[in-house]
Structure 1
């Protein structure tokens, strides 16, 4: 997908000073939309909105298309022929995946989420009762 700039490790400190790159921050809405596309592809915007329960901003779809993380793979045979979105090779490369099978299983994500909630509850409990 283009070029990759590589240098000798010995020059890393100098290059880091010249080329300070901050990782971009992505909104929760953008990441939720991308996750839904990755797990449920092909998927329409309306299906994403039904699952999320809120409208998907056109800016989010535009941003994902511009980054080439998603693309339109066709249109669903429904009135209005809505676009079907799927992830791209650039998506896999950016997130260091060989294929979609390497995505965490959904039960694993739910388990991680439940564990995080339990930890947050414990922290709140400790904070209330020092």
Structure 2
């Protein structure tokens, strides 16, 4: 398998409320709405990432086996240039975080969840 340079990376998130998820990603995280045959499904884009928001009536949600519904600690990873400014902006918008800021050799990160509880990591790379 090969990926064309202009091809988007697609990630599916299962959500309880498609409209709330679209609002969260477009209002707070800089995504643009591409299609929205709600209430079953919508997709939003940020850079090369196409996020598929699948509601309970979507085929993607129905295809998930019950024993895998809560598997893993997967999340999308969004680069930011000023993590502290993003934290302040999102807190002022009334959003809560799921972790404290964690720093490591590669940079700093914090976790937030969308309205369905899917994790989003905001990551500021370390200065090189």
The answer to whether the superposition gives a TM-score over 0.5 is no
Higher relative contact order (CA 8 A, sep 6+): 2
Higher alpha-carbon Rg = 1
Higher helix share: 1
